[in-house]
Amino acid sequence: MVNTKENTGMSTESFFGEFETMKLAEAKKNTSRIILRDVTRERTPIEVRRMPKETKKELTPEEKPRVISTKKKVEQPQPVKLTAKEIKQREIEKAVKSASKFPVTDTKKEKKQFEFGWKRMVLTTACCATISFAIAYIINLASTDMSIKVAAVQSGIEAKYPTYVPHDYELSDVTSSSGKVTIHFKKGSDGFGITEEKLDWDSDALLNNYVKMTYGNDYTLVREQGLTLYMGDNWEAWVNGGTVYKLFVDSGSLTKKQMKSIATSL
């Protein structure tokens, strides 16, 4: 075979260039066509053809990238064997912890119930004592009032009981006679009495007929709440509503203030 390069006398580059030119000319000749179109026909819109979606190619196990794990293998700790003494100590610690977790509400509840019961008992006792005292006081007033009423019926006058009595003094006796009632009070060995007598006297008649005749000029004139009081060391006399009142101290003593309070309370 004769070498083309030697026969033509061309270089290798010029030879290949002419060869490429020939190929392009041949390609143009094959692809160039005359397209005749009828202008009288209506144009139809160009149909757009959708290209099918590319399906994702699944990789084979050989093509998939290999993931190299960097985690180190953790060695499992070996169980530690405990001695009998250590096991016993651990059980004791568990029991102490579980006992400390028990609720203390029951103890507090019992304490509250005890305090409430104690307060309730004290309150009940106080109420009972108050009621007993009130009942005794009412009974005492009723019996005193009854004694005064009986004496008033026997004497024929409307006798009165003082609403004020000095502290610790109690009614000891009530005596009556025609037109006269005497009430006695006692406090241990001390005592005083009040006489109520129906007389047609005023303060001047009381002064002349009783005070001066009994005590002379040894008296003090005191006016208290509309009353004219004649007072001495252990006695007192006044008139109120047509009744003559005389106070006398059997033993012990009363203050001026106490005697004035007794007089104004009748």
As beta bridge partners, residue 237 has 230, 246
Q: Which of 119, 123, 121 shows the shortest CA–CA distance to 131?
A: 123
pLDDT at 52: 56
Per-residue pLDDT of 191-249, as tens digits, reads 999 999 989 999 999 999 999 999 999 999 999 999 999 999 899 999 998 899 999 99
Confirm if 193 and 181 have CB atoms less than 8 A apart. Answer: no
Confirm if 176 and 208 have CB atoms less than 8 A apart. Answer: no
How far CA 189 is from CA of 192, 225, 256, in Å, comes to: 10, 32, 20
pLDDT at 215: 93
pLDDT band at 177 (very low <50, low <70, confident <90, very high): confident
Predicted TM-score (pTM) of this structure: 0.48
Per-residue pLDDT of 85-127, as tens digits, reads 777 788 888 777 776 655 555 555 666 665 666 677 778 887 8
pLDDT at 160: 86
pLDDT band at 2 (very low <50, low <70, confident <90, very high): very low
Superfamily of domain 141-265: MucB/RseB, C-terminal domain (3.30.200.100)
